[in-house]
Amino acid sequence: MPMKNLAETILQYVKRPNYQPVKVKVLARKLGIAAEAYAEFRRTVKELIQQGQLAWGRNHVVRLANAEASEGTTLIGVFHKTAAGFGFVRPHGVEKYGRGEIFIPSDQVGDAATGDEVLVRLTRRAKGPERGLVGRIVRVVERASHHFVGTYVERGGEGFVIIDGTQFSEPIWVGDAGAKNARPENKVVVEIIRFPAPGLPGEGVITEVLGPRGAPGVDTLSVIRAFQLPVAFSAEALAEAREQAARFSETNLRGREDFTNWLTITIDPEDARDFDDAISLTYDSHRRHWHLGVHIADVAYFVPPGSALDREARERGNSVYLPQRVLPMLPEVLSNHLASLQQGRVRYVKSVLLEFTQHGQRVRARFTEAAIRVARRLTYTQVQQVLEGAPEAEQLALPEEIRTLLLRMRDLALILRERRKQRGALELYIPEVELEYDAEGRVCGAHYVPHDVSHQIIEEFMLAANEAVAEHLQSLGVPFLRRIHAPPAPHKLREFAEFVRKLGYDIDPRYATDRFQLQRVLEQSRHRPEVHAVHYALLRSLKQAEYSPIPEGHYALASEHYCHFTSPIRRYPDLIVHRLLGRWLHTGKVSADEQELLALGAHCSHTERRADEAERELIRIKLLDFLSQRIGMELDAIITGVEPYGFFAQSPMLPVDGLVHISSLTDDYYYHDESTYSLVGRRTKRRFRLGDRVRVKVVHVDLYRHEVDFRLADTHERGRSAKRVQS
């Protein structure tokens, strides 16, 4: 069937009134598509999605796009409620905030909470601040959660829980004041029995008392419960891990290549707990070729499919890295011992052996199961000291062969980095801040984490290995769990181009999709005051990376085929890729179920986002506690958002947004200029623009709602941000 006719057939079927969204294979079966035509059918569906005629729904079902939704239409999407009571529904498959998202007035929200999947009926199109589609929530299709964390309080002899954050404007009634022996100001977990709705208070029951608010460790436990993060391993999984440890022998290399005499090292942060990647590198001066070995802990050897260990790892999806606490994907007997590439110990690995020309062009890739013995564990700081020839490097007493290896690694990494840049890879400069804690786990300071050449070495080598594995699996024609990053919507890039053009950058919005234009703006902004605003603005324009077998490519890396292979200790998708590669190495054949991978990719994408959100939330809580004890403290900050009611600012050293309310700007009457992302004084023409540096003072911290208010400090006290913040 010609592609045009095939596309029309698909659209006619999906537009039928009784169509129920199904996955691609099911849709093909319903349309009678032959097996040999399935690849063309899938490509056609993908093209219709890219054209905006179809869209992916939850769990990768195919549905009609919502772009042409009209009054009276009902749609399903995810609801987000604001502190003011109104909210937005993002229909499945729609990404444009404020246009594709549906505005829900506060009196049409019903009892929906943030994260709920809801059925919404469109009521009208609106102009002004509501912008675009307006609707009302008909019903909640699926609750995101019934359990929430908050603070127990008593009023009039009755108990209430103030839920953390802003999604519930009123406390939840929990009945008797002595429920679960809760005491005022205790952090508790509450199960909501009746969700609050306009004119109808919420009701719940306390299921767990976590401890006094502010007590050491209670903030961490609160976040773990709020995000429903798994902590303890089952007895069965722990028993299997111990059994694997008992069976392991460093002398048993049967079926593996012996690389134990290769010069192999690890480079990790100072506080790393697991070591799952090691590097070897030689240079053939005769052929002028590089021979890179990326050796990854063979976690798949210790975690058989379907085992208790596998079931737990699959459920968790990934390790969760919280401030001062790690929730590992696998028991520590594996993550910190058997599958950890410790110095001087023989360990099993899957190795990616890559050969590059002197200019960094890959000419050969080989994959094997092997055993290695790490010669030296090094930290990023130590490696950077060696590369810079710092005096501290002499104290490491490194053999000359390791010093030579490090210099060689630097040279190849910089060559590979330049090649990625030439193909259009985008490098966002988002400086990482590391908080410092006292003995009780409270924030006492912060410092920037450098992203120097020592970090870039490992980054480039891991990228090279991931790409090589993905290209190999692609060549085998097997579905596999890719790391995909779909291209951003063109209108998002045009908006970004308009924004940076107003900041003075030479960019043509008509060609905003030209990645080399974007590259140039990113590079030019690196050493300008608005660097954070520019790079964060582009980040917000990009889609989220996710796991899926659909061959979308990776936009930011400018890579056609990419997967995660290099961290199977802490990411389940990497473990799945290891198993596929292992089956091919053992049998020369490999297969996988695409529908199963779709579901697994959606699950792992969810657990990854959950882990990131939990880490950010705990950091925010700790920072708010820090700031609550420093009312009046002044900070150099950058404007990160501008709204009609004020602007948000964030100190680069303390990553938490605070609001400077427009009512506190008393020197003039300010209006919101949406076209320039600014607040502008009518008389003085003073302007507060996205990306501007300001000096602010902490005036209020709400530990219940997790909010902070700033005011402008006196301008004569303005100064440069310190490299370090301390109490």
pLDDT tens digits, residue range 412-442? 999 999 999 999 999 988 777 788 888 888 8
Place of tokens 């694997």: 244
**239-245 own/partner pairs: CB under 8 Å, 24+ apart:** 239/308, 240/307, 240/308, 240/309, 241/302, 241/309, 241/330, 241/331, 241/333, 241/334, 242/333, 244/302, 244/333, 244/334, 244/338, 245/333, 245/334, 245/337, 245/338
Place of tokens 């749609």: 75
Opening angle at CA 697, ends 693 and 700, nearest 5: 130
Query: What one-character DSSP code corresponds to residue 233?
Result: P
DSSP assignments along 111-163, one per residue = T--TT-EEEEEEEEEE-GGG-EEEEEEEEEEE-S-SEEEEEEEEETTEEEEEE
- The pLDDT assigned to 49 comes to 80
List the structure tokens of 194.
């009746």
List the structure tokens of 635.
């900070």
- Rounded distance between C-alpha atoms, residue 712 and residue 100, angstroms: 35
In this structure, the strands spanning 362-373 and 257-258 are: parallel
Mean pLDDT of the chain: 88
Which class is 630-726 in CATH?
mainly beta
List the structure tokens of 153.
């309080």
Nearest of 621, 671, 616 to residue 647 by alpha carbon: 671
- Rounded distance between C-alpha atoms, residue 454 and residue 381, angstroms: 8
Q: How many CA atoms lie within 13 A of 554 on its CB side?
A: 25
Opening angle at CA 492, ends 636 and 514, nearest 5: 100
For 106, phi then psi, to 5°, come to: -60, -30
For 688, phi then psi, to 5°, come to: -115, 110
Place of tokens 């804690």: 437
Opening angle at CA 547, ends 543 and 549, nearest 5: 115
Mean pLDDT is highest, among 93-102, 128-137, 165-174, 177-186, for: 165-174
- Rounded distance between C-alpha atoms, residue 431 and residue 262, angstroms: 35
Opening angle at CA 112, ends 109 and 118, nearest 5: 95
Confidence of residue 656 (pLDDT cuts 50, 70, 90): confident
Q: Which residues on adjacent β-strands are paired with residue 698?
A: 710
Residue 719: pLDDT over 60: no
Fold annotation for 74-142: OB fold (Dihydrolipoamide Acetyltransferase, E2P) (2.40.50)
Q: Give the lowest-confidence range in 220-234, 394-408, 430-444, 467-481.
A: 430-444
SS (H, E, C) 4-18: HHHHHHHHHHHCCCC
Mean pLDDT across the stretch 73-77?
79
- Rounded distance between C-alpha atoms, residue 241 and residue 436, angstroms: 34
List the structure tokens of 706.
């997790």
Do 547 and 482 touch, CB atoms closer than 8 A? Answer: yes
Residue 243: pLDDT over 80: yes
- The pLDDT assigned to 385 comes to 94
For 369, phi then psi, to 5°, come to: -95, 135
Residue 613: pLDDT over 80: yes
Stronger pLDDT, 534 or 718, i.e. the higher one = 534
State the DSSP H helix or E strand holding residue 469, giving kind and residue range, or none if neither. helix 453-476
Mean pLDDT is highest, among 29-43, 473-487, 652-666, for: 473-487
Residue 534: pLDDT over 60: yes
Sheet order of strands, 346-357 included: 257-258, 362-373, 346-357, 289-297, 277-284, 265-268, 376-379
Q: Give the lowest-confidence range in 100-104, 457-461, 489-493.
A: 100-104
Nearest of 622, 630, 621, 636 to residue 718 by alpha carbon: 636
CATH code, 3-64: 1.10.10.10
Stronger pLDDT, 409 or 651, i.e. the higher one = 409
Q: How many CA atoms lie within 13 A of 368 on its CB side?
A: 14
Mean pLDDT across the stretch 362-380?
97
Sequence-ordered list of residues with C-beta below 8 angstroms from that of 255, at least 6 positions apart, any chain: 369
- Rounded distance between C-alpha atoms, residue 720 and residue 711, angstroms: 18
Fold annotation for 147-213: OB fold (Dihydrolipoamide Acetyltransferase, E2P) (2.40.50)
For helices 490-502 and 515-525, angle between their N-to-C axes, nearest 10 degrees: 40
Confidence of residue 125 (pLDDT cuts 50, 70, 90): low
Do 578 and 299 touch, CB atoms closer than 8 A? Answer: yes
- The pLDDT assigned to 97 comes to 33
Nearest of 623, 169, 632, 253 to residue 441 by alpha carbon: 623
- The pLDDT assigned to 61 comes to 79
Q: Which residues on adjacent β-strands are paired with residue 347?
A: 372
Q: Which amino acid is at 553?
A: G
Question: Mapping DSSP to helix (H, G, I), strand (E, B) and coil, where does residue 671 land?
Answer: strand
Query: What one-character DSSP code corresponds to residue 679?
Result: E
- Rounded distance between C-alpha atoms, residue 628 and residue 706, angstroms: 11
Alpha carbon of residue 441 to chain centroid: 24
Stronger pLDDT, 453 or 1, i.e. the higher one = 453
Do 551 and 103 touch, CB atoms closer than 8 A? Answer: no
Mean pLDDT is highest, among 62-71, 80-89, 314-323, 487-496, for: 314-323
- The pLDDT assigned to 511 comes to 85
State the DSSP H helix or E strand holding residue 281, giving kind and residue range, or none if neither. strand 277-284
- Distance spanning both ends of the chain, measured CA to CA: 70
Confidence of residue 612 (pLDDT cuts 50, 70, 90): very high
> Domain ranges in the chain?
3-64, 74-142, 147-213, 235-413+426-480+562-613, 630-726
> Residue 391, class by beta-carbon neighbours within 10 Å (0-12 exposed, 13-18 middle, 19+ buried)?
exposed
State the DSSP H helix or E strand holding residue 203, giving kind and residue range, or none if neither. strand 203-212
Domains 147-213 and 630-726 share a fold: yes
- Give the rounded percent of residues in the chain with a pLDDT score beyond 90: 56
- The pLDDT assigned to 687 comes to 92
